[in-house]
Structure 1
Amino acid sequence: MTDTSSPAADQEQRARHTAARFREVYGTEPTGVWAAPGRVNLIGEHTDYNDGFVMPLALPHTTLAAAAPRTDGVLRVHSGDSGGDGQIAELRLDALRPASDGGWAGYPAGIAWALREAGLPVGGADLHYDSTVPVGAGLSSSAALEVVTALALDDLYGLGLTRQRLARLAQRAENAFVGVPCGIMDQTAAACCTEGHALFLDTRDLSQRQVPFDLAGEGLRLLVVDTRVKHELGDGAYAQRRAMCERGARALGVRALREVRYAHLPEALDRLAAQGDARGDGPGDTPGAGGPGVRAVVRHVVTENRRVEDVIARLDAGETRAIGPLLTAGHASLRDDFQVSCAELDLAVETACAAGALGARMTGGGFGGSAVVLAEEAGADTVAARVTEAFAAAGHTAPRIFPAVPSAGARRLV
C-alpha cells in the first residue's frame, strides 16, 4: 500500500525538535532552522550536464538544519540521521581541501569551501541536521544537504545570494570538493521549486519556468517507488556516462549534445557510425563491459530533450494524462540506450504499467534508486499494491511507495 504520511504536515514540529537537538548537542541556542527538499525528476534524465532540459519537482521530504555562527573559523556538523555516526565532525575552514574523504560531512564542508573560494565572507558555524529525504533513493538527499547548508550560511553571514547563484555554488561544492560530476538540476530544484508546480529548467542559460502541476485537481497521483536499492554515483559509472556524452559532442563538433536537434538525430548517428564510434571503442574511450556506446548515449540525450519539450506542450494544453506514455518511453531509453536501470526499477515500471498506470519511469542517476508512476487517483493504491506484490514474488526487498506532492523549495522555518 502507499505510504500517505506527509513529511510536510509536521514541519513546524520537526523544526522545534531540530532546534532542541541543536541545544542538546552544542549547549547553545541556534540562530534559526532552515529546510531544503529532496526532489523527483518528472522527465529529463542525464540531460542537465549536456546543457539540456529537465523538469523536476520538490518533495515534501526535507533536510532541516539548525545553525549558529562561530567566530573561530571552525565548522562543526552533526547529524541525527542514520547517515551520521552520532559524533560531531569538526573542521577548520582554512584547512578544507577538495576530495578529502570526509564521508557525509564532506557535503557541508564543500559548501563552506565553495562559498569561501567565491570570495564570500563566510566564517565558522555549528550545524545540526535532521532529514526525511531517503538516502540513496535517487531523490537528491545530497543536494538537499548542500542547499540547506548554503541557505543557512547565507542567512548567518548576510551574503545576499540569489537562489540561482546558491544552486550553482552548491553544484560546485559537489563537483570540485566531493568529486561527483553532477549537473545543476538537483541543486536548482532544491533551491528554486515552488509548491504546486514542476520546474522547467534550461540548464544552459538556467532560465526557469514554474509549470502548474495540480495532479489532485485532475484526479491523478504521482507515486514514488523507492526500490531501496542503493546507488553510488561516485563509483565511476555516472562519470563514465558523462565522459561518453562529452566524447559524442566532440565527435559531432558541438559544445554540448543539447545542440543536436531531434530532426537531425539520424544524420548525427550516421556521422558517429562513419567515425567508428558505433560501440564507443575508439582511442581514449574506456566504456565498461556491456556499457553503452557513444551513439546510444547521444540517442538518449537527444530524444530525452525532445520528450521534455513534449511533456511541456501537453501540460500547457491541459493534457496531463497524455504525458504518461512519454514517461514510459523515457524509461525505455534509460534502460536500453543509457543503460542505467536495474532489475528492480524495470520491475516497478513494468508492473505499474500492467496494473493500469498511465506511465512510469526511473528517476535520478540510476543503478538503483526510485521510479515515478503516474496513475489515476482511483487506481493508485491498486498499482502500489501490485508493485509491492511483484517485488515480494521476485524476492526483492519491499519497496517504499509514497505520493510525490509538488512542494516548496528551500526556505527558513524559524
Structure 2
Amino acid sequence: MAGTMSGSDVPQLQIRFITKQECYAVPDYPLSVPAPVTPEELNTLLNTLLRETNELSASISFDFLVSSEFLRSPLSIHIADRGLSTEDVIVVEYLEKHPPPEPQNCLIHDDWVSSVAVAEKWILTGCYDSTVHIWTSKGNHKLTIPGHTAAVKAVAWICLTDELGMFVSASQDQSAIIWQWNIQSNSVECVHVCRGHEQGLESVGVSTNGEHMATGAWDNMLKVWGTSENDSEEPEKKKAKVDKGRTRVPKRTMKGHKEAISGTVWVDSNEIISSSWDHTIKVWDSELGGMKHEIVGNKSFFDIDFSKIGRVLVAASADRHVRIYDPRSNEGSVVKSTLTSHTQWVQTVRWSTTDANMFLSGGYDNCLKLWDIRSPTAPLYELSGHEDKVFSCNWSNPKLMVSGGADNTVRIFKAGNAVH
C-alpha cells in the first residue's frame, strides 16, 4: 500500500525512493506525496521512514536527485521543467548531503597571491611580489624563494618524494624556473631557467607523467618543455649557466591562439588543453605540435581544468558563468552545462580529484564556491573568507580546498567527507 503525506485536496504524485548508499536504504514501494512537495519535506519523510526501518535515531540531511539533477525547487516545478509525466512514478534518488567545508588556516602574504598548488601536505604559492613560498597544510611557513624579477603568475608541482620536491614557477618576467627542494635541509636550488617566451607567462601545466610541462603566455604561444635534469633533445650550446641554473629552451612552440593563454592543463602525457582570452579553448597534440580540436566561446576564458575521472572540462569565463565541456564531442560548441552564481568574472576552477561531480570556482566577487554539476543553478556552498578577488584555487589533496587572492591571503578549508 502506498504511503501518504497529505490530504486529498492537493494534487498528489507517486514517488519511489532509491539510493546507492545501502546504509540508508528504505523499502522502494511507491509513496503518495503532494505535488508541490519541497526537498525539506522529502527529507522529513525520508528520516521518518529511516527511523521506522533502520532504527536510526539521529536526523540526517539528504539531497534528492530527480532526472539526474538535484531537487532545488518544489517537485512539481522540477518535473514540469524537465518534461516528466505526472502520471508516472517519479524515481527520487537520495544521498547524504555533502557536509560544509570547514575553514582551517589563513596564510598571510606580503602581496597578492596569484597561484596555489598543493601536493600532499605541502602548499606552494606564487606571489605578485616575485616570490614563491612553501607552506605546510597546517599553516607553517617553510621557505620564501626569490629568483623572479616580476610577478609570479603560476606554480605547479612536478614530483614529490619524502626527500625531494620538484616544482615550477612561471612569471611575468618571461621565464619559468624549475626548482628542486631538499625537504630535509629545507633548501631550494634553481635547476633550470626556461626562456623562450617574448612576453609574460600566465599559466603552466605539468604532464601526467611529470616529464614535460607546458607554459602559456601573453605572446599567445603555448610552449612545451622537458622537466628532467638531463634532457637529451636539448642542444648542448644552450646549457649555459644562468642564475645558478641552466637555461632551457622549449622543445616545441604551438601557435594558434590570438590572445593571452590563461590556462594550461594536460589530459595525459601527450594531449594539452589551453584556454585563452581569445574566447577559445584548444586541444593540442604535444608530440605533433598541432591543434586537434577547438571550442569557441562568446567571452574570454580565464582558466580551465580537466577531470581525470569524468573526462570533461570546466572553464571559467568573463561572462560570470562556469561551463562544462566534453572535449570528445564532435560539435565543439556543445556545452554540457552552464553553472551560474558568480556576480563578476570567474578567475579560477579546479575539479575534485576523487569525485567526478564536484569542483571549486573562484572569482572577482571575492567568492570561492563548491559545486556539484548535478546542481547547476546553485553551488553546494559558498566558502567565505576572502576580502578581495579570488585568483587561484586547488583541490589536489582531497582533504583540503585551498584558495589565494588579492587580499594577500591563502585560505585553507577542510573538505567534509560524505558517505559514499
Q: What TM-score do the two structures reach when normalised by structure 2?
A: 0.26
Q: Which structure has more helix as a fraction of its residues?
A: 1
Larger radius of gyration: 2
Q: How does the TM-score come out when normalised to structure 1? A: 0.27
Q: Greater relative contact order: 1 or 2 (C-alpha under 8 angstroms, separation 6 or more)?
A: 1
